[in-house]
Copies of this chain bind each other. A is one copy, B any other.
Amino acid sequence: MIKELIKTIHLYHNNGWSPATSTNYSFIDENNKIWITRSGIDKSSVLETDFIQIDENGSYPKEDLKIKPSAETQIHCVIYKLFPKTKVILHSHGIYPNLLSSKMKSNFIFKGNEIQKGFFNVSTHLDTLKIPLLENSQDMLFFDKELNSRKSELKYNCFVIRNHGTYAWGATILDAKKHLETLDYLCQYEWNLISK
């Protein structure tokens, strides 16, 4: 799975979705171990050795102080706990969700686009979808609380953090990609409609 995930990370980097050293990615392997990208790496050239193994609370061996998991590791751990079928979590700094987040209150509302069928259990463009928009915070406990209290709103396997980025997950890489790309496309669509 790691090779496919690295291919995805490179593809998304080419989209401009991971400027500087932003974004982070994780997966659960066949032995039920969580692997996450370490902090501070350039996503244009991520390697298998850039993934480090953490436990379900995000703990990791601290012998080498230079290598540590992404600062947002807690967000990944909360998602894995809330949705036990999840095997892959993707994060993006795509510009459209960020731009759109500056205009919205606590949710993104989408309706009428064929692409929304990219979400699990959505079979028509006529459905109205509500995707949670969380405030940004440097306190990972804030996200823990928010995600737990808004669990029922997370049924589309994704959410947005204001002026930060998007998270999406799935039981396979393909599922996680579908959710992330569907969300990004809907944001691009809605952003471009504003003031037109």
In this assembly, does A31 line the interface, its C-beta being within 8 Å of a C-beta of chain B? no
- Report A58 CB to chain B, min CB distance, Å: 19
Would B181 and A20 count as touching, CB distance under 8 A?
A: yes
* A161 nearest in chain B by CB position: B114
Instruction: Determine if A106 is an interface residue (Cβ-Cβ < 8 Å).
Output: no
With A95-B192, A102-B193, A103-B196 already in contact, the answer to whether A178 and B124 are too (CB < 8 A) is no
Q: Are B196 and A195 in touch, CB under 8 angstroms?
A: yes
Asked if B44 and A99 make an inter-chain contact with CB atoms under 8 angstroms apart, the answer reads: no
The answer to the question of A185 belonging to the interface, with a C-beta cut-off of 8 Å to chain B, is: yes
A99 with B21, Cβ < 8 A, contacts A42-B174, A136-B125, A161-B114 known: no
Chain B residues whose CB sits within 8 angstroms of the CB of A138 once the complex forms: 123-125
20 cross-chain CB contacts under 8 A: A7-B45, A11-B44, A15-B16, A19-B181, A19-B185, A20-B118, A20-B177, A20-B178, A20-B179, A20-B182, A21-B118, A21-B174, A22-B118, A42-B174, A93-B114, A99-B193, A113-B163, A114-B164, A124-B138, A195-B196
